[in-house]
Amino acid sequence: MSTGVRTTKPRTPDRAASDFTELAAVVRESGLMRRRYGYYWTKIILLPVALGIAIVAFIVIGDTWWQMFTAVGLAVIFTQIAFLGHDAAHRQIFVSGRWNDWISLLLGDLLVGMSYGWWRHKHTRHHANPNKVAADPDIDLPVLSLTRDQVAKPRPAFARWILAHQGLFFFPILLLEGLSLHASSVRRVVARERVERRWVEIAFLAVRLGGYVALVFLVLSPGIAAAFLGVQLGVFGVYMGMSFAPNHKGMPLVPKEARLDFLSRQVRTSRNIRGPWILDAVLGGLNYQIEHHLFPSMPRPHLRRAARLVSEYCESRGVPYTATGLIEAYRIVVRYINRVGLGERDPFECPLVAQRRAI
């Protein structure tokens, strides 16, 4: 879809401030913000049904090592449900905020075992300042160093060796991501800070996490049960991590003192993943990260159309728009993480910030 603009315009401060407003108007006129109730109700019904069928199959199959395949299937279903919960949390499904909240609680807390309150608290800060040092929680990770300041922290020689090779450990670390998501959720709902619907979340998480583990050990012998949980959590963590990692890792970091206009801040720090429509389903629409950051409440089915419109618009305004293949994105992520670990100076400094410093 054409925006009708072909020439590149200089982005003065006033022009930059109005660019997003103009783009938003084009998007609304194109009908890309309208709700997709049929699409989402189908997913809201079919995914829990798929989960129910998988659990019945798990019980019927019984105590056998063949259950490792069931564990993989459950991990995929849990991840797809998490993607749907992500859509609801961004108000993509219903007009009513209350309906979206409760769908997020049911999908996230009760079915997946991830706290909606914890996710919203963390994810809102990420959307406000993607890849911004000291502001984006997604670049402040306990097991990886993504900035110079993190690398500069004192640590033992062995830990520094691991840091210098951290890109090699990135994918193995994702095996623990599922366990980390559950643990972070529990810590959040029992913390002293204020949590909306605390007791609802505690009840849902207790049923999901406690009931699930109890069922696994009731159906399987201890050894097989432990292996089952390891496979399910490992595949779930890798699937979740590999879906989110290409979105921002290896894109420019924005210094904490920098001030960028909304369009530049969201587009320059995000990366889209090119691919066929099946990739949209596999990655839950996260492969359109630029459009998602610009329009978080845009329903997932509209993102592919929006990507064509936004990329053309950004080109006309001289705003770099990044889209790569999935494998290339993973290469960039691993290479970037390794370069940071080796202590190279500003491996991916924000080009706009660098340009302003040179003036």
Check pLDDT > 90 for residue 156: no
Report angle CA 265, 123, 263 to the nearest 5 degrees. Answer: 15
Query: Which residue range forms the structural domain that includes residue 25?
Result: 13-34+258-358
Do both 79 and 122 map to the same domain?
yes
- Cα–chain center distance at 227: 27
Q: How far apart are CA 342 and CA 336, in angstroms?
A: 10
354 and 218 both lie in a single domain: no
Query: For 265-297, what is each residue's pLDDT tens digit?
Result: 999 999 999 999 999 999 999 999 999 999 999
End-to-end CA distance of the chain: 36
The verdict on 234 and 122 lying in the same domain is yes
In angstroms, rounded to a whole number, what is the distance separating the alpha carbons of residues 249 and 260? 19
Residue 80 lies in a domain: yes
> Does residue 241 share a domain with residue 202?
yes
Identify the residue with better confidence: 359 or 251.
251
Residue 318 lies in a domain: yes
Residue 348 reports pLDDT greater than 50 = no
59 vs 157, higher pLDDT: 59
Residue 158 lies in a domain: no
Kindly state whether residues 209 and 134 are assigned to the same domain: yes
Share of the chain above pLDDT 90, in %: 75
* Same-domain check for residues 101 and 242: yes
Of the three residues 246, 270, 294, the one that is the final residue of a domain is 246
* Six token digits for residue 179: 């366990």
Instruction: Enumerate the β-bridge partners of residue 324.
Output: 273
For residues 173 and 197, state if they share a domain.
yes
Mean pLDDT of the chain: 90
Count: domains in the chain:
2
Considering the domain boundaries, does residue 105 fall inside one? Answer: yes
Indicate the residue among 220, 246, 272 that finishes a domain. Answer: 246
Model confidence at 15, pLDDT cuts 50, 70, 90, reads low
Whether residue 42 has pLDDT greater than 60: yes
What contacts 43, CB < 8 A, 6 or more positions away? 84
| Beta-bridge partner residues of 141 | none
Residue 279 lies in a domain: yes
pLDDT tens digits, one per residue of 314-336? 999 999 999 999 999 999 999 99
How confident is residue 356, by pLDDT bands cut at 50, 70 and 90? very low
Convert the pLDDT of each residue in 222-268 to its tens digit. 999 999 999 999 999 999 999 999 999 999 999 989 989 999 999 99
For residue 255, the 8-state DSSP code is P
Listed residues 246, 272, 304: the one ending a domain: 246
Q: Which of 307, 308, 300, 286 is nearest to 38 (CA)?
A: 300
Q: What is the pTM of this model?
A: 0.90
| Residue (of 247, 297, 238, 252) closest to 271 by Cα position | 247
What pLDDT band is residue 10 in, cutting at 50, 70 and 90? low
